[in-house]
Amino acid sequence: MSYLLRIDASASAESSYSRQVADTFTAAWKGDVVTRDLARAPLGHLDGAGITTRTTEPARRTPEQRAAARLQDELAEEFLGAGAYLFAVPLYNYSIPSAFKAWLDHVMIVGRTIGLGAAVPSAGRPAVVVSARGGGYGPGSPQHGKDFLVPALTTILGDPNLMALDVRVITPELTYAPTMEPLRHLLPQHLTSLEDAHDQARRQAEEIARDVAGTQSTQRQNGCPAGSR
């Protein structure tokens, strides 16, 4: 079975709830895991060389463009080689952490990882987004409608014209309840949300690993290359 690609974006190390729930998923995963930790090894933001190298003939590239192309090739091949994806991406200031946004900017390449009307190799592959958040953002909460991470990622990762993944989302909420006095009264709801998130992670890992193994077995029987979909 081709590997699970896990991307971590939280700057909080082991205390990160996104990482902890992702750890539960990884522990239940039956197969190989490739991990890229964007907090411990940040990529840096996409710059002019990274943009222009995509439309410059290889022989005419500057040293900066060649370096940018090597990084993008590495990230794209790592992405396309996976059979499933796990993105541990906490909600920072209502949106996507800059470390993960940088990864997206480097890896989203027209005709290679995003289609814009054409098929892409990753189409239909399962992806789980684990996004912890300090408050509550569900219907009826004061913060409802202020989560700009999940809508953005489900579009970028799941839109048929972009990465075309089969995206599922796990959102442990109220993670500030154990440490912030104004939210202490919500601690029971936080613990319930966190327990549910771990349960979802285990179930999703088992289900997706089973589905990926079944798909790849069928592909082998039909003579398709492993990892194609």
What is the per-residue pLDDT across 165-219, written as a single tens digit (0 to 9) for each?
999 999 999 999 999 999 999 999 999 999 999 999 999 999 999 988 877 666 6
Question: Residue 199 domain-assigned?
Answer: yes
pLDDT above 50 (res 228): no
Sorting pLDDT into bands at 50, 70 and 90, what band is 225?
Answer: low
Number of domain units in the chain: 1
pLDDT above 70 (res 13): yes
Q: What is d(CA 157, CA 168) in angstroms, rounded to the nearest whole number?
A: 10
Mean pLDDT over each residue of the chain, to the nearest integer = 93
- Residue from 129, 85, 105, 50 nearest 229 by CA: 85
Structure confidence at residue 229 (pLDDT): 34
Q: Mind giving me the DSSP string for 27-63? A: HH--S-EEEEETTTS------HHHHHGGGS-GGG--H
Q: What CATH number did the domain enclosing 215 receive?
A: 3.40.50.360
Question: Residue 177 domain-assigned?
Answer: yes
- Print the domain residue range for 167: 4-221
Q: With contact defined as beta carbons under 8 Å apart, do 92 and 61 qualify?
A: no
Q: With contact defined as beta carbons under 8 Å apart, do 4 and 86 qualify?
A: yes
Sorting pLDDT into bands at 50, 70 and 90, what band is 2?
Answer: confident
> 221 φ, ψ to 5°?
-65, -30
Average pLDDT of 29-41? 96
Average pLDDT of 30-40? 96
pLDDT above 50 (res 227): no
Question: Residue 226 domain-assigned?
Answer: no
Q: With contact defined as beta carbons under 8 Å apart, do 135 and 183 qualify?
A: yes
pLDDT per position as a tens digit, 130-170: 999 999 998 999 899 999 999 999 999 999 999 999 999 99
Question: Residue 153 domain-assigned?
Answer: yes
Question: Residue 228 domain-assigned?
Answer: no
Q: Which two tokens stand for residue 14?
A: 């082991």
Average pLDDT of 5-32? 96
Question: Residue 158 domain-assigned?
Answer: yes
Please tell me which residue, 142 or 221, carries the higher pLDDT value: 142
Question: Residue 88 domain-assigned?
Answer: yes
Gyration radius from the chain CA atoms:
19
- Of 83-87, 113-117, 155-159, the one with minimum mean pLDDT is 113-117
